[in-house]
A and B are shown apart, each in its own frame.
Chain A
Amino acid sequence: MARSGKPAGVAVFTATVSWLLTRAGLFLILVGGQASAQDDRNRFLDRIDANAIIDFRAAVETNKPAFQSTEIRLKTELGVALWDNAELKAVTRFRADAFDKLEAGVPSQAAIAPLTRRLIIGDRSDFELRELYVQTDVGRTRLTLGKQQIVWGQADGLKVLDIVNPQDFREFILEDFGGSRIPLWSVNAEIPIRNVTAQFIWVPDRSYHKLPEPGSSYSFSAPGFAITPPPGIDLDLREVARPTRAIADSDIGFRVSTLSGGWDLTVNYLYHYGDLPVPFAEIDVTPARPRLTVTPGYARTHLLGGTFSNAFGSVVLRGEVGYFFDRPMIAREIVDNKAFLQRDQLRHVIGLDWFRFSDTLISVQLFQDWTPRHSPSLFIDRVDTNFSILLRRDFLNQTLTPQVILIQNVNGGSGLVRPQVAYELNDHTSMRLGADVFYGSTESIFGQFAERDRVVFGVTWAF
C-alpha cells in the first residue's frame, strides 16, 4: 500500500491534456475567424458529431415483489474533428432512479480519484463525465489522451484480462461491461510495426473498484468478499485508503497483438494495483472488548498474460490466460496487520463460439483460477472453476433476439441465469424483457444475491 503523495505526475498529465484541449479550442476559433459566418457555421457543424441515448429501465424483485429500480439514463456523445486525424470525444451519463436501493443513500467515492468521480445529485441521481479524450495520429502512432476505457481480452460475463479499468459493482455483474467499467485518465499509444501492433498504456488515475455499500441491493455479504469480525470483537471499518503517489503508484502496461497463421494472438503485461480492496487490520486488545480496526487498501501485482483466437469452420476457439504475481486475496487470519495473503495465481478462460444454423450462436466458456501456493486461510479454493453457456438466435431479419446466459460457479454450487428477449421496433427504438435469477448458498458468490432475483423491462431510444 502506498504511503506518500507527490502530485507532480498528475500535474504533468493534466497540463498535457489541457495543452491539447487548448490547442483544439484555438484551432476551432482560428478556423471560425477566417471565413464568412455562414460558411463558418457549416464548416464547424461538419466537424461535430453529436448523438444521445435515452434508456428507461424498470426492475422488479420477485422474491418479495417490489420495485428495485425505475431508472432513466441519458447518455450523450460528442465528437469534434480537430486538426488532421485528430478528434476530441466527450461522453456523459446522467442517471436518475425513482428508488434509492442500488446505491442506498449518498454513495462514498473514496475508491475513486477526485477527478474521476461522479457528481452525486441527492440520493437518487448522478452525473458523470464518462469519457473525455483527444485521439490523434503522431506518425503511425495512434495516441489517445484523456479519460477513456482500455479493454483487453474477449471473455463474456466474467473477466480475466479486462482489468485495466476498474468496475462499478452497483449491480454486481448484471450491468454490461461498457456501462460498469470505470473510465480512467490514461495515456494510450498504439503503434503498428509490420504485422504487429504494440500498445503502451500509462494510467496515473488511482481509481479502483466501486463496491456497493451495506444496505444497497447488491452489497457483498459472502465470506471472502465482506469483512466480518470474529464473535466478541468490535469492528471499526475505516474508509478505503487509495495509494497516494502520483507517479510511483500509477499503472503501466503493454500489449502486443498480431495475426499469425490464422491465429489472433496477444501478449499482455500490466503492473498495477489489484482493484479489489484488501483489509489492512489492527487488533486492539486493551479495551474490555477487543476492537478490530480495518482499513481497506490496495496491493501491487504484476500481470503477464495473453489471448488467442481462431476460427475452424463454424466454430471459433478463443482463450485468455493471465499469471498474476503476488495477487492479494482476502484471508481468514491476520498476519503482520494484513488480513490477506499475496499468492501467485493463474487465471484462464477457454471459450467455444459455435455459429450454428443461420443466426444462431451457442457459446460456452470455462474459467479457472489456480492458486499453486494455496493456504487453508484463503477463502478461495486452490482451483476455482466457473463456466458459462450462452444460447442466442435471431429472428425476423435480426430484429427479434431471444437469448439465455447461464454462469455457474462449480466450487460453490451457485450461479446466475439470465433469459432475455430484445426487439428492435425501428432504427431508433428497441425494447427488452428479461430476468436475472441467482441460486445457491447465501455464502457463495452468486447465492449471496438469491434474494435479488428480478424481472427487468427496458426501452432504449437512440438519436
Chain B
Amino acid sequence: MKQVSLRFRSLAAASFLLAMGARALMGEPMSPAPLLDGNEIARRINARDEGASSAQTMVIETTDRRGKSRVRETRIFRKYVGEEKRTAIFFEEPRSVKGTAFLTIDYPEAGRDDDLWLYLPAARKVRRISMANRGQYFLGTDFTYEDMKKSTKVALEDYEWKTLGEEVVDGRRCFLLEAVPVSEVSNELGYSRSRQWVDAEIFIFRKIQAWDVQGNELKTIEFKDISQVHGIWTVHRIEAHNHKTGHHSVLAFSNVDYASEVKDDLFTPQALRRGP
C-alpha cells in the first residue's frame, strides 16, 4: 500500500487522483467523493451510531515476543445514561481472574476525569481507582485505557486532524488522516502523532499507526471483521502490535447485542461484586 503524505492543501487534489488511479488499476470501483476535512471526518466518526446500550463477549489475547500467550474472557456492557457513557467489564475466564470487574463512567464535560472502580474478588472490596494518565496500558494489553474507553470513537478535544489523502485498506476506500495531539495532552496520551485510516463510507477505523512521544514508531492497530449487528456497524476484532516490545494483543468480540435491555443497576460499584 502506498502512503500519501502531503502537507499542502494544493497537493491534495493530485494525491486524490493518484489514489483513484491506483484503485482503478486494482479493479476497484471509483467514487467521486471529495476529500473531507479531517475534523469533519472525526466528527462523523463520533456521530456514527453505536446503540444506546450494548452487551457483548470480549476475549482478550495477549502474546509476548517469545510467543507466550494469555487469554481473558470477559462480558462487557455499555450504556448511555444521558450523555454519560457507562461501561462495565466482568472477567469470566480464566479462574485466576474470574470475578474481577471494572466500572467506568465517562462524563461528557471536557476536562472532567472519568470515574473508575475496580473489584478484586480476593479482597472482596470495590475500590475507587485512578490512572497515572490516559496512556496507561489496560491490564497488560497493548491498548491504553483511553483506547479502551473510546473504542472506535475519538476525543475531539484532544487532537488536530488533517486529511492526507485516500488509501485502500482491506479492500475498502479509506480516508487517511494524521492526528496530532494538542500539546498539553501528548504526554498524557502517550502519542506524539498517529495516522488513521477511516472507512470512507461507514466512518469507522480500519487501521491506526501511532508514534510515541519521542517520535518512535509505537504500535499498529487494525480493525477487522466489521459487519452490521442490529443495523449498527460493529468491529468484531481489534489487533494491536507493539513495535517497541514485540507484544501483541487481540480483542475479539462476539455475542454482540444492541437490542436487549441493559439495566442501569449494572453500572454501580455494588454490581461489580455481584456480577452481571
A residues contacting B by CB (< 8 A) are 51-53, 135, 140, 142, 149, 151, 153-154, 176-178, 190, 192, 197, 257, 259, 262, 264, 309-316, 318, 353, 355-360, 394, 396-399, 424, 426-428, 430, 460, 462-463
Contacts and interface: CB of A to CB of B under 8 A. Distances in A.
Nearest to A396: B64
Given A142-B274, A197-B268, A197-B270, A426 B70 contact: yes
A430 B95 CA distance: 12
Given A257-B269, A264-B269, A428-B96, A397 B137 contact: yes
B124 A178 contact: yes
- Smallest CB-CB A-B distances: 10 pairs: A398-B140, A462-B95, A397-B140, A311-B130, A309-B128, A427-B94, A462-B96, A151-B124, A51-B95, A355-B132
Given A311-B113, A360-B132, A426 B127 contact: no
Given A353-B130, A394-B140, A397-B247, 19 more contacts: A51-B98, A140-B265, A154-B125, A154-B128, A178-B121, A264-B117, A311-B129, A313-B113, A314-B130, A314-B131, A316-B130, A318-B128, A358-B132, A358-B133, A397-B245, A398-B139, A424-B96, A426-B68, A427-B70
B122 interface: yes
25 contacts: A135-B274, A153-B125, A176-B123, A178-B122, A190-B270, A259-B269, A264-B269, A309-B128, A310-B128, A314-B132, A315-B130, A316-B129, A355-B131, A356-B132, A357-B132, A358-B135, A358-B136, A359-B132, A397-B137, A397-B141, A399-B140, A428-B94, A460-B96, A462-B94, A463-B95
B130 A355 contact: yes
Contact of B268 (A149, A192, A427): A192
Contacts of A264: 117, 128, 269
Interface of B: 62, 64, 68, 70-72, 94-96, 98, 113, 115-117, 121-125, 127-133, 135-137, 139-141, 245, 247, 265, 268-270, 274
A315 B116 CA distance: 12
A126 to B, nearest CB: 21
A257 B123 contact: no
Contacts of A360: 132
A194 to B, nearest CB: 10
A394 B117 CA distance: 19
